[in-house]
Amino acid sequence: MSAESFIFEGGAHKNELLVELIEDLGGWIVQKKILASESTITFTIPQTADVPLVRHMVLQLRGGLRPQPLLGIEIGVIAPTIARHHLPHVLCDISEFMRRMGAKTNMIGLGRGVGQRTAQISTLEKNIIEEHDAAIFVFGNFVRCLKEHKWKLYRDLTIPVVVTGGPEMESVPHAEYYISKIGRLPYRFRRLEELDKLREIGNAVGDAIQKRRKLLERDPPLLPSFAVKEEIIRQVPAIKNVYSPTPIVPKLQGLRVKLPYAQFHEEMASIQIGDYRLDEIAEVTQSNFRDYILIKFLAQSQIKKRND
């Protein structure tokens, strides 16, 4: 059964009871913040059947519980450029809404994505986008541009692609989902119908990720990313000196660790997780994001072949 992720918002009093319950259920605390008398706890539990126990505890604590369907997912939100005269202003709204659903988002502007026949994407840009679990391409208002030209920017990507644009169409080439009525707009989203469009994008990304999760369940990794994240924090002291808001970024099938690859990749590869070293159950490579470390989990069948 698939994991469920939530964010708890309530009083700081007795919040440790919820933390203990989550740990007893085999879950992970992703983030915990206590400010004055208020607490915010982001967490995930591995079994859907245990959700009623968590809800009962939240009722006792008189707090609120919101689902985070995209927790542990990294999404690239891509525009043809970030130049002011071309940038769709809704890019920020889309990114923020995905964050509220639990995702880690990165806004990306292409170097030469503007125009119809001249639009192109470099190998480096493609590799950066491929490191995400899903991509949202935010395009403009012309049917011909979307149907005949812009698909060249994402047709070779192997991750799920959601495209947004102004024209009302059923679909666009090579994209899993197309969301209409979101083109190049000179203002931010405020009206209710515009917020409904953001929810539509979130649901499309959630459906695409759920399909990818079902494929992974046929031959899953040995451990979820949150479990490996805890071991990295415990065994690599240098991670505590990284002042980024997210020094370790959990992904659907791995992690990105914001430590210099040249200096720390050997230490990272030698982390002991149960009976295995990390490099026995995952590929430890250099990320296309700066000089970070990228960890991609191997499927259990691949681990078995390595050890035979």
Query: Residue 23: its pLDDT value, please?
Result: 92
Sheet containing 177-179, strands listed edge to edge, beginning at the edge strand earlier in sequence: 104-109, 74-79, 134-138, 161-164, 177-179
Q: How far apart are CA 298 and CA 281, in angstroms?
A: 6
Are the CB atoms for 141 and 164 separated by under 8 Å? no
Q: How far apart are CA 201 and CA 223, in angstroms?
A: 29
Beta bridge partners of 41: 8, 32
Query: Residue 1: its pLDDT value, please?
Result: 46
Positions in the chain whose pLDDT score sits under 50: 1
Q: Is 18 exposed, middle or buried (0-12, 13-18, 19+ CB in 10 A)?
A: buried
Instruction: Give the tokens for residue 266.
Output: 């050997």
For 180-207, how does the pLDDT look when each residue is reduced to its tens digit (9 = 90+)? 988 877 777 878 888 899 999 999 999 9
Query: Residue 86: its pLDDT value, please?
Result: 55
Query: Residue 85: its pLDDT value, please?
Result: 58
Beta bridge partners of 29: 43
For 132-152, how does the pLDDT look when each residue is reduced to its tens digit (9 = 90+)? 999 999 998 889 999 998 999
**What's the whole-model pTM score?**
0.91
Query: Residue 157: its pLDDT value, please?
Result: 96
Query: Residue 12: its pLDDT value, please?
Result: 87
Tokens 């191997």 -> residue? 298
